[in-house]
Structure 1
Amino acid sequence: MNNYKKALHILLGLFFVLMAFTSCKEVKKENINNLLVKGMVVSDTLKWSERMILSEIERFPKASLLDFREKPRWSYTNGLVLSAAARVFEQTKNQKIYDYIYTYADEMIDSTGTIKTYKLSNQNLDMIKSGDVLLYLYPKTKEERFLKAMETLNSQMETQPKTSDGGYWHKKVYPYQMWLDGLYMAEPFHTKYALDFVEDKDKAQKIFEDVVLQFDLIQKHSRDEKSGLLYHGWDESKEQRWANKETGNSQHFWSRGMGWYGMAMVDVLDFLPENHPGRERIISYLNQFAEAITKVQHESGLWYQVLDQGDREGNYLEATGTSMFTYALAKGVRKGYLDKKYLEVAKNGYQGLLDNLISVEENGVVNLNKCCGVAGLGGNPYRDGSFDYYINEIIRSNDPKGTGPFIMASLELNK
């Protein structure tokens, strides 16, 4: 009889364990079903960084079509978003994100290492940015074609036309011009390539000198002593209609232009050797930059499209520049380049984005609104760099020049 009772107890115990296990499975299944019923594509339980990159993947299932493209293209916006994606993958190990990054390189680099849609002869600094994707993938994959493509991009840097004092032209079609954008497009790649792939120490040192020189020259030619802000472009020839006939500078302080510059400084410092004398100069430029942009931050935490003209009709609080400033300041503090007071400035900027410019769809997809779509100088049709020009360029949601920096700012602030 005792044996019978023991057996009964064991069977009852097993029954309750089985019921509990089934119940847990049912709960999990119910949670998944709830997500499906709600049509959730991106879970709102994730951090903002992962939510945004998964939203980008939903919007642009092929990374080669980022930036609302109809045909695949090797361009800087792809490199910007995918560099941000790589940082998210390193934290989350979400394979979907890595596959998104890899597929871009796989599609755009053929078996010989040729970069599709890229022309070396254009000498366009924008095209260097996606080289960051290859710097990330090559150590993981050891695919020779990725190395060859990087060598091609480095050869562009070695032959890039320069101003009389050594500043890289932004593009061959923009002769004698340095733009703030160009420092972010090219210098982080050039510095890391020299660090990891140039075995000749003298050659690597020459590249480091060239990189630092670009920051020295931008400070010399483009910085306004009174406000501390930097003009978008500088024309050595002073022939462009947008250029001041005495200084060669464009007319205004454009938010994203300065955003590119801030990101360039904090990212180049990741790779410039600790003992390089140029480090301290770049850190000093970063501190001047932080002080200047803090003075023109709006009470909402955001920054205006034209930085110093906040009270002027038509100006607006803009997402891409704000995301870039937030990232640059937060990283600058974390790395010890900036005083801790700037962390509050960054946090205010980030909160301003969440409160005013971020919206979430019913399916969980995250949108970043009020992004300036594009802005440049010269070209055809001609862009005159006037106030009216900057405020009247297209404004759209989810421009990659905003989503990429928003992801990086989210990571820096661990939001």
Structure 2
Amino acid sequence: MKNLRTYISICVLIIGLSITSCKEAKGESKVVQEDPKASIIVPENLKWSERMLMSEIERFPDATKLDFVDKPRWSYTNGLVLSAAIKVYEETKKQEYYDYIYAYADDLIDSTGTIKTYSLEDQNLDMIKSGDVLLYLYDKTKEERFLKAMQILSSQMDSQPRTSDGGFWHKKRYPYQMWLDGLYMAEPFHAHYTNIFEKDAQEAKKIYDDILLQFDLIQKHSHDEKTGLLYHGWDESREQKWADKKTGTSPHFWSRAMGWYGMAMVDVLDFLPEDHPGRERIITYLNQFAEAVTKYQDSTGLWYQVLDQGDREGNYLEASGSSMFTYTFAKGVHKGYLPEKYMDIAEKAYSGILDNLISIEDNGVVNLNKVCGVAGLGGDPYRDGSYEYYVNEIIRPNDPKGTGPFILASLELNK
């Protein structure tokens, strides 16, 4: 009998523990069910510009590693996204955005103003772009190291090798070549830095004239009279395999190269003095650009990777170029450079991006899809600029060369 009572007691204890355990398990499950919003990282009630910036910070908590790199790097992609982040911060005044921007420069610039991973010897125009971040931070902090770093970047503009008629080589390793990309990478910083720091009026005018020369030369050498579009690159030497032996131009019109150029024009105009005679030339170029690009807008509102060959097999509606054109048109209208009709083009393009290229994860993180990961000319392995080359380069979501312009476009359209 005693053994029976012991056995019953043990059974009751086991059953009790099992019930308690089940209640606890159910309780844990109930917590998740009661608070599904606890996992939301990016709220949907914010503007698209802020939602994308929050998503970028979630993807790349360390701004020195933007663009899917493992080690901190000074590069144009960081400068592109952080320039957009500056505008979001100025609109929202949220400290975490400023901290994200500041940490980039704080990590990569030492007390002497030396920029980690940057080499003046490379004479690479891409590396100038992040100088825009320093212009902003120096104004806020007056930290001497940021000024010294900017002085180094400015000195590169003095020593950058040139074509025979004065055009900046895109990089030292790409001799005698001008690329559309380079106008955006260097000239807004070049103009802004001069605007702030060059006190000698004659010297400032000389620099502004030089900036205008870069736009004049790219129009002279890369502009196609038939389409109104501009070729990605021009080789003065005609030695590159991708260069036409008569004109020196690359074979195709790449949407992002055209996008860089459009953004270069609307951004450099922020810093060119109102009385500089070259302003009207750039505005003329911008209007020619807008007219040409609009002809190739797809019915979705988007643009193709190879702009003028939308009906060709393998081509696709690409996110970075589409975002850049949207920003260029919207800003151009807001600033009075472009007629009002281009705001309708920008609105249509932006709707096309939202309808066709944006996806949202369960936690609210926003993705921009169908971004060309990279495209260039020459190099090793050699990039021949062919149609097949452009449409077969890597396509990936959330490449910062797309997300940065998407934020800028969202801000201009106040969406």
TM-score by shorter chain over 0.5: yes
Q: C-alpha distance in 2, partners of 1:276/1:199?
A: 16
Please state whether the residue corresponding to 2:367 is helix, strand or coil: strand
Aligned residue pair count: 383
Q: C-alpha distance in 2, partners of 1:373/1:118?
A: 22
Q: C-alpha distance in 2, partners of 1:193/1:34?
A: 50
Map residues 227-242 of structure 1 onto 2, 5 A cutoff.
227-242=227-242
TM normalised by structure 1 equals: 0.91
Does residue 173 of the first structure (1) align with residue 185 of the second (2)?
no
Does residue 369 of the first structure (1) align with residue 366 of the second (2)?
no
Match of 1:98 in 2: 98
Q: Which runs of 5+ in 1 are unaligned?
A: 1-29
Match of 1:156 in 2: 156
Match of 1:73 in 2: 73
Match of 1:12 in 2: none
Q: C-alpha distance in 2, partners of 1:41/1:248?
A: 49
Q: C-alpha distance in 2, partners of 1:349/1:393?
A: 23
- CA deviations 1:241-290 (Å, max 9, x no partner) are 00000000000000000000000000000000000000000000000000
Alpha-carbon offset, residue 201 of structure 1: 1.6
Q: C-alpha distance in 2, partners of 1:94/1:51?
A: 13
Q: C-alpha distance in 2, partners of 1:69/1:109?
A: 18
- CA deviations 1:91-130 (Å, max 9, x no partner) are 0011111100000000000000000000000000000000
Match of 1:120 in 2: 120
- Aligned letter for 2:140? K
TM normalised by structure 2 equals: 0.91
Match of 1:413 in 2: 413
Match of 1:109 in 2: 109
Please state whether the residue corresponding to 1:359 is helix, strand or coil: strand
Does residue 359 of the first structure (1) align with residue 337 of the second (2)?
no
Map residues 255-294 of structure 1 onto 2, 5 A cutoff.
255-294=255-294
Map residues 10-409 of structure 1 onto 2, 5 A cutoff.
34=35, 36-37=37-38, 39-409=39-409
C-alpha spacing 1:35/1:277, structure 2 compared with 1 (3 Å): farther
Match of 1:14 in 2: none
Q: Which runs of 5+ in 2 are unaligned?
A: 1-30
Match of 2:13 in 1: none
With 193-202 and 99-108 compared, the bigger mean Cα shift is at 193-202
Match of 2:19 in 1: none
Alpha-carbon offset, residue 380 of structure 1: 0.3
Alpha-carbon offset, residue 156 of structure 1: 0.2
Please state whether the residue corresponding to 1:209 is helix, strand or coil: helix
C-alpha spacing 1:35/1:168, structure 2 compared with 1 (3 Å): farther
Match of 1:26 in 2: none
Bigger Rg, structure 1 or 2: 2
Alpha-carbon offset, residue 36 of structure 1: 4.3
- CA deviations 1:298-352 (Å, max 9, x no partner) are 0000000000000000000000000000000000000000000000100011000
Please state whether the residue corresponding to 1:118 is helix, strand or coil: coil
Q: C-alpha distance in 2, partners of 1:249/1:319?
A: 25
Q: C-alpha distance in 2, partners of 1:293/1:36?
A: 43
Q: C-alpha distance in 2, partners of 1:362/1:384?
A: 41
Match of 1:9 in 2: none
Q: Which runs of 4+ in 1 moved over 6 A?
A: none
- Aligned letter for 2:235? D
Alpha-carbon offset, residue 200 of structure 1: 1.7
Please state whether the residue corresponding to 1:304 is helix, strand or coil: coil
- Aligned letter for 2:82? L
Q: C-alpha distance in 2, partners of 1:87/1:59?
A: 20
